[in-house]
Amino acid sequence: MVIQLQHVYKQFHKKEVIHDVSLTVNEGEIFGMLGPSGAGKTTIVKMIAGIDTATKGEIHVLGVRMPNLQTMARIGFMAQSDALYGELTALENLDFFASIYGLKGKKKKQRIDEVLELVNLTDDRKKAIHQFSGGMKRRLSLAASLLHEPEVLILDEPTVGIDPLLRQAIWEELERIRQKGTTIVVTTHVMDEAEKCMRLAMIRNGQLIAIGSPEQLKKQTNALTLEQAFLQFGGVQA
Ligand SMILES: Nc1ncnc2c1ncn2[C@@H]1O[C@H](COP(=O)(O)OP(=O)(O)OP(=O)(O)O)[C@@H](O)[C@H]1O
């Protein structure tokens, strides 16, 4: 397994927001975290990425206890809000992030070209970010998270504010990345996206209420849709 959470808890100022979450993510999987706003999805993926620490319990990524700097270099993280520099062009933004990841010279240039191509922004690479649409910014953020060819890719609501066509394109891209051997964790509150995940954790009030493939989760609850299954497991409207 690539990711393992064992009895993980998280408190913010004595308020418990994650309660006893244990789960594993396997190599080459697209693993979804589904739950309504405020359920704790972002908090969980930040702890997996090593950006935040658990109050109690253990998280291992690629066999190493998190947080760990060396392991963080093997993880790509795409946050909910885009961390891009508006005054800089797409190319300059990627150049900046590539340098942070330690890429240099020819290899850096080649990798930037590859990720730009991947998210279909090659023709827009010389435009400043403040001229970009929301969807273009999301795609550029995805490109930035892929620069260092991470073994684990963590995406926090990657398709929020993105139109259905582009959303489809991003999911196709994720599938391609997965086939190359990358393990992907993605948070969502959109049911049709959850359907595309190989396995899914349903989160409510900081707790894991169910885990399994979309098919298994529906079967267990005799539900026709994931939404019905989520409600059956004790969830609220996502
Ligand atoms: N830095 C923080 N300080 C205090 N409380 C926090 C902090 N970060 C998150 N929380 C709280 O933790 C809970 C879980 O938040 P989280 O952002 O993980 O949920 P989420 O499922 O990702 O929601 P969304 O889909 O809206 O992003 C919320 O009640 C939130 O207010």
Taking only the tens place, the pLDDT of each residue in 5-42 is 999 999 999 999 999 999 999 999 999 999 988 999 99
17 in ligand 1 pocket by Cβ < 6 Å?
Answer: yes
Q: Output the residue whose Cα is nearest ligand 1's atom 16.
A: 40
Which ipTM score applies to this complex?
Answer: 0.94
- pLDDT digits over 105-148, tens only? 999 999 999 999 888 899 999 999 999 988 889 889 999 998 99
Alpha carbon distance 38, 30 (integer Å): 22
Question: Which pLDDT belongs to residue 237?
Answer: 57
238 has pLDDT over 70: no
pTM of the model: 0.91
Q: Is 74 exposed, middle or buried (0-12, 13-18, 19+ CB in 10 A)?
A: middle
CA 43 / ligand 1 centre spacing (Å):
6
- Residue-level length of the chain: 238
35 in ligand 1 pocket by Cβ < 6 Å?
Answer: yes
Question: Which pLDDT belongs to residue 145?
Answer: 92
Q: Which atom of ligand 1 is nearest to the CA of 33?
A: 21
Output DSSP code: residue 65: E
Q: Output the residue whose Cα is nearest ligand 1's atom 18.
A: 40
Backbone angles phi, psi at 207, to 5 degrees: -120, 150
